[in-house]
Amino acid sequence: MVRAVISLFLLAAALAGGESGIKDKKPVFGGACRLCPWGAMAEVVQAAMKPYGYDVQICYNCNAVDAPRIVGEARMPPPYKPDPAVPEILAPRNAPGLGAIDFGATAIQFIRAAYRGTGPYAKDKPHSNLRLIANIQDPSYVLAAARTSSGITDLAQLRGKPVRVLTAGIGGDATPLILAHYGLSKASIEAAGGAVGSTPALRENFDIAIGGAGPMTTAPEWRIWTEISQKFDLTFLELPEALLDHIAKTTEQERGIIPAGLYRGIDRPIATTVRTGTVVYTRDDVPESFAYAVAKALDEQQQLFQWRHLPFSYNAHTVSKAYEVPLHPGAARYYRQMGYMK
């Protein structure tokens, strides 16, 4: 009983807001593993701010859907949980004594949904205190592919058959929408004797793969597409325009094109939906001078984006935009000075 009470106390302490490190120039950045887009961005931000006297501390497990909550509520870093899929050298333990998370990185659709209180944040109050600092281009795409040996060329062929559907990579929120468009669901596929999931067994023995991916890379979110496209012959499928519009609207994405050659088997441009950016963001109570410094550092140290395993790119026309999520006044002041916005 005492042990349970202590555990609950420690968990509450970990989740509660704490003291910021900004005044000591040791701000804490909410990132993810070093292979992940948000972890890679964390290390870009850390390196970019070093010449300006900041010693950015990184939380390597402030990720997934909770990331905007962690930043928006100024939480302490969550307890460390080893991930068997990622070696500890790539997902290191957080340095002891980290303070509250001051800023971080997340997917553009997550900050938008968190700000509005929609999607995975529908049960939250809107996180209306979130503020954009920089939107860095980092595209990922919704993909659907069949094992060529299956003979499947259209997802309509799946109805009533015991097919094995591999849910692959990020973009899992699009998978049920795609299945539903064809009158399918996880339950109906399993009832027909099929399977839906991302188990090791399905990675080796699947008929269809659906999910999201960026460039060919070892990032955990996308590695599965690298693996299966190299190991198996895949036929990448076209999705109907109406379905793509529905996915874009429902999952906070944009319409886009999968470039030919992104993975082995993609021999033509394919219409899809795209998550367009990884955002660096903070809260409205963070000092204007700090947000200005972050925006300035990322702009002046753009060369750092070139030396990552992900295709980050800085675009002066889009860096200040994240749909309706407000730009932090400090970042806005910098971009106006540079002529990037009016």
The domains of the chain are located at 16-138+276-338, 140-275
> Quick one: pLDDT band at residue 37, thresholds 50, 70, 90?
confident
DSSP assignment of 40-69: HHHHHHHHHHGGGT---EEETT--GGGHHH
The token pair that represents 246 in the structure block: 């529905």
* Average pLDDT of the chain to the nearest whole number: 88
Higher pLDDT, 142 or 323: 142
Neighbours of 123 (CB within 10 A): 6
Exposure string for 302-316, b = 16+ CB within 10 A, e = fewer: eebbeebebebebee
Per-residue confidence band for 335, with pLDDT thresholds at 50, 70 and 90: very high
The answer to whether domain 16-138+276-338 and domain 140-275 are alike in fold is: yes
SS3 25: coil
Element (H, E) at 236: strand 234-236
Task: Taking residues 116-138, report their average pLDDT.
Answer: 94
- How far apart are alpha carbons 314 and 188 in whole angstroms? 44
Domain range 140-275, its CATH number among 3.40.50.11440, 3.40.190.10, 3.60.20.30, 2.40.100.10 = 3.40.190.10
CA distance 317 to 327: 14
Q: Provide the pLDDT for residue 336.
A: 97
Regarding beta strands 57-59 and 28-30, do their DSSP bridges make them parallel or antiparallel, or are they unpaired?
Answer: parallel
Look at 58 and 1; give whichever has higher pLDDT: 58
Residue 306 confidence class, pLDDT cut points 50, 70, 90: confident
Instruction: Give 87 or 283, the one with higher predicted confidence.
Output: 283
* pLDDT at residue 7 is higher than 50: no
pLDDT for 101-125, tens place per residue? 999 999 888 899 999 998 889 999 9
Q: What is the pLDDT of residue 64?
A: 78
pLDDT of 85: 67
Third-level CATH fold of 16-138+276-338: D-Maltodextrin-Binding Protein; domain 2 (3.40.190)
- The answer to whether the predicted template modeling score (pTM) of the entire model surpasses 0.85 is no
What pLDDT score was predicted for residue 218? 59
Helices (H), 185-310: 186-191, 200-204, 223-231, 241-250, 288-300
Q: How many residues are present in the chain?
A: 342
CB atoms within 10 A of CB 125: 8
3 state DSSP class of 322: strand
Q: 267 exposed, middle or buried (CB, 10 Å; 0-12, 13-18, 19+)? A: exposed
Check whether 173 has a pLDDT greater than 80: no
Summarised one tens digit per residue, pLDDT across range 68-84 is 999 999 999 998 887 77
pLDDT band for position 260 (50/70/90)? Answer: very high
Task: Provide the pLDDT for residue 250.
Answer: 85
Pick the residue with more confidence: 1 or 257? Answer: 257
Stretch among 157-161, 189-193, 273-277, 278-282 having the lowest mean pLDDT: 273-277
- Of the chain, the end-to-end C-alpha distance in Å amounts to 60
Residue 17 has pLDDT above 70, yes or no: no
